[in-house]
Amino acid sequence: MPNRIPKAQADLGDLALHEGGAMLLRRAIAPLREGDLLEICGGSSELVEQLPAWCRQQGHRYLPLNKGAGFHWIERGASDPPLIRPAQELAETAEPAWGLAPRGATVEAGGPAFSFPLRRKREVWAEELDAIRQQAANNQWSLIRDISWNALPRLAPELEIAVSQAMTFLTENEFAALYIPARFLARIHPHYREVLEVLAFQVTDEARHAEAFTRRAEAGGTGLGTTANSGQLSLHTLLEESEFTTAVFLLCVMGEGTFLTLLQFLEENAPDPVTAALMRYAHRDEARHVAFGVSHLRYVLQREPERRPALAAAVERRSRLLASISGLSPYVHDALVILAGGGLSPEQVREGARRVAVLHREMDRARSERLQALGFSAEEAVRLSAHHTKNFM
C-alpha cells in the first residue's frame, strides 16, 4: 500500500450503511477531490461487505486496510454526476433539461428532457402576476360556507325557470373557461410557476362556478334549462384555439370580459339573495381572470406589437365561423328579459327588453375600451367588438 495520508475521516459509530451510515459517508466524501482518501471508522461488522459494494455502485475505490478492525479507506472517484445550475432569476428561455426542478434548484445532468412546448417567457408571462396570485389566494370562497342557501325564497314559476335557464347558460360557458386553461397547464415549463399557479386558480374558480350555478338551477325545483346549438357552436370555436396568447385573448379579454358585464347585470336583477351572492362572488373571480388576460396581452404586445393583426384576424375568423348565428340564443335572451323586467306582464317585458338592450350596449362599450387599452385604435376596437360572438363567450 503506498504511503498515503487520508484527507478526511468519517466516524460512523456502530451504524451500518442501511442504518444511516451511507448518508454520513456521502457527506464526508463530497468535498474531496478525485483520488483523495477518506478513512472510515465504524464498529459495525457489516461494513466489511457493505463498503466495497457501495464503492462499486458510487464509482469510488475500496482499499483493504490492515490498520485494524473498524477502519477502512475509500479512494474518491469521479462518479458524481455533472450538475446543471439553471438561472436563479427568471430566464427568457427554459431548457428541457431543467425538467420539473423548481426555479433556483440545482439539477443533475443526464436526466430526461421534458417536452414543454411553452418554454419562452414572452409566450406565457404577464405583468402583475404576483398581485393576481395574491388576490386569487385571498379571495377563494366556499359554496357551503359563504352562500346562505336557506335564504332562497320560493319564486314565481316564470322567475325560477328564468333563473334556471340563466344558470344553465352560465355553467356551459364555465366549462369552456375551465377546459382552456387546463389544456395549457401541462404545456408550460414549470420555470414559469407563477403562470401555472394563476391558471390553476382559474381552473379551480371555474369548477366552483359550474358547481354553484348547477346547484342554484336545481335548488328551485325546476331543473336545468336548455342548451342551444348556437351556444355550443360558439364555445366549440373557442375550445379549438391552439395558440396560448390567442386563446387567452379570446377567452379572458373578449369572452370573460363580456361576462363581467353579464354577471353584474344578473346580480343587479337577481330575484333572490342567493343568486345575487353567486353572481357577486363569480364576478370577483372573473375580474381576476380578465386581469390576467389583459396583463398577458399587454406584456406580449409591448414586445411584439406586430401580433395585433393576427389577434384581430382570430376574432374575425371566429365571427365568420359563427355567421349562421343571428343573435343570442332565445332561451337565454328570454330568461334575461324576464329577470330584468321581473315578470311576464307586457309592462314588465317591455322594461326587461329595454334593460337587455342596454346590457348589449354596455358589453360592447366595455369590450371596446379593453381593446383600446391594449393598443388597438378606437376604430379597430369598435369593429372587433362588433365581431365578438353574440352568445357573449
Domain 121-387, CATH number (from 3.40.640.10, 3.40.1010.10, 1.10.620.20, 2.60.40.10): 1.10.620.20
Give CATH 1.10.620.20 domain extents, the chain: 121-387
- The per-residue pLDDT string of the chain (393 residues; one tens digit each, 9 = 90 and over) reads 456 899 999 999 999 999 999 999 999 999 999 999 999 999 999 999 999 999 988 889 999 876 667 899 999 998 677 778 776 789 999 999 999 999 988 888 878 888 999 999 999 999 899 999 999 999 999 999 999 999 999 999 999 999 999 999 999 999 999 999 999 999 999 999 999 999 999 999 999 999 999 999 999 999 999 999 999 999 999 999 999 999 999 999 999 999 999 999 999 999 999 999 999 999 999 999 999 999 999 999 999 999 999 999 999 999 999 988 878 999 999 999 999 999 999 999 999 999 999 999 999 999 999 999 999 999 999 999 999 999 999
Residue 249 DSSP symbol: I
Spell out the residues 6+ positions from residue 236 whose beta carbon is closer than 8 angstroms to its own. Answer: none
DSSP notation for 205-241: HHHHHHHHHHHHHHHTSS------HHHHHHHHHHHT-
Task: Cite the residue boundaries of each domain of the chain with CATH code 3.30.110.40.
Answer: 8-75
Q: Which residues contact 223 (CB under 8 A, 6 or more apart)?
A: 164, 217
Beta bridge partners of 40: 10, 72
The whole-angstrom separation of Cα 20 and Cα 377 is 68
Q: Looking at domain 8-75, which of 3.90.1170.50, 3.30.420.40, 3.30.110.40, 3.40.50.720 is its CATH number?
A: 3.30.110.40
- Using an 8 Å Cβ cutoff, are 146 and 281 in contact? yes
β-strand pairing of 37-42 with 8-13: parallel
pTM: 0.85
- Site of grid cell 483520488: 35
